[in-house]
Amino acid sequence: MQNGMLDRFARSCQLLKASWEVLRKDRELLLLPVLSVLALVLVLFLSAMLMWGSGIRVPETQGRDLLQLLQANPLVLAWFFFLSLMAYFVAFFFNTALVGAALQRLEGGDPTVGSALALACQRIGSIFGYAVISATVGLLMSLIVERIGGIVGRLLGVGISFAWTVATFLAVPILAAEGVGPIKAIGESAALLRKTWGENVIGNIGISLAMSVIGSAIMIFGFLIGLAASQHGHPEFFVPILVGTGFLFLVSALVGAALRGIYVAAVYYYAVAGEPRWGFARDALQGAFRKRG
């Protein structure tokens, strides 16, 4: 079993390396995560201003219990749902654009930011429906977890969140490639999960872990360099160094987001086409699928 896990991890590393090569050839794909962050900040800011202007206030309660907030002001539920819906919609819209561009590259095309956004606009109805489902699941999960409470509630929340994340892992590339409705996309994603379980989970965790380590290293070294500069008679360098460190941290996060999009596109492409493209090794992709007994 240990050797099997090591083999899966090695195949995932090969897939991640190939994802990096695709990103290196299409650096403009990094603009999509940038646009996603900017759009998310703008949408949440405007939504918060709209909430404030409507006169709805989050009541003061002891702790951060969502149920207490809802009992104090039921309209808070609608606003929590609306803000969550907007966040999901923005994230799914730009993820669809990114994955769609990666699929176009895997098919031999030459994607641009414009073509990627145009594809996402064509799928906007399905993307919005998927956002509604995800926001509803997230809110219901939070209410259930808080109702149960304690360690059992937290463990249940983690389990439900993990199961939902894994089951919908391929929903975005299905939306991008097939243009189906959100319910069918979720169903097909869950079906493909049976084939791609190991590498989907390990590969996604691998990207997140690698970029987290890189990001943490950037922040730590940046802070230490700034602190050393201050202690050696150059305090004026401290703030610029921290600003530069924050910029590098943001870049690493954006690269990670782009790599995850390319990675899931590659796994989905092989799942439906059966052929590797653009440097993705057949044995690595072929090993990502379970054989049915």
Q: Is residue 291 part of a domain?
A: no
* Beta carbons within 8 Å of 193's beta carbon, 6+ residues apart: 166, 167, 169, 170, 200
Q: Give pLDDT, residue 65.
A: 58
Query: SS in 3 state form for 29-47?
Result: HHHHHHHHHHHHHHHHHHH
Q: Is residue 265 part of a domain?
A: yes
Question: Among all chains, which residue has been given the structure tokens 């995560």?
Answer: 33
Instruction: Count how many domains the chain has.
Output: 1
Q: Is residue 240 part of a domain?
A: yes
Q: Is residue 293 part of a domain?
A: no
Q: Is residue 43 part of a domain?
A: yes
Q: Give pLDDT, residue 17.
A: 74
> Which among 24, 211, 277, 6 has a CA at the least distance from the CA of 285?
277
Q: How far apart are CA 41 and CA 218, in angstroms?
A: 24
The token pair that represents 194 in the structure block: 């049976």
DSSP string, 122-146: HTHHHHHHHHHHHHHHHHHHHHHHH
Q: Give pLDDT, residue 63.
A: 47
Q: Give pLDDT, residue 25.
A: 75
> Which among 179, 203, 211, 209 has a CA at the least distance from the CA of 267?
203
Q: Is residue 100 part of a domain?
A: yes
Domain range for 30: 2-286
Could you list the pLDDT tens digit for every one of the 293 residues in the chain? 445 556 666 666 676 777 777 787 777 888 888 888 889 888 888 877 776 776 655 555 444 555 555 555 666 777 778 888 988 999 999 999 998 888 888 777 778 888 899 999 999 999 999 999 999 988 888 777 777 766 777 787 778 887 887 788 888 889 888 888 999 999 888 887 766 555 555 555 556 666 677 777 878 877 788 778 777 777 777 777 777 777 777 777 777 778 878 878 877 877 776 665 555 655 555 555 554 43
Q: Is residue 292 part of a domain?
A: no
Q: Is residue 206 part of a domain?
A: yes
73 conformational bin, left if phi > 0, alpha if psi -120 to 50, beta if neither: beta
Q: Give pLDDT, residue 154.
A: 76
The pTM for the full model equals 0.75
Q: Give pLDDT, residue 293.
A: 39
Cα 161 → chain centroid: 14
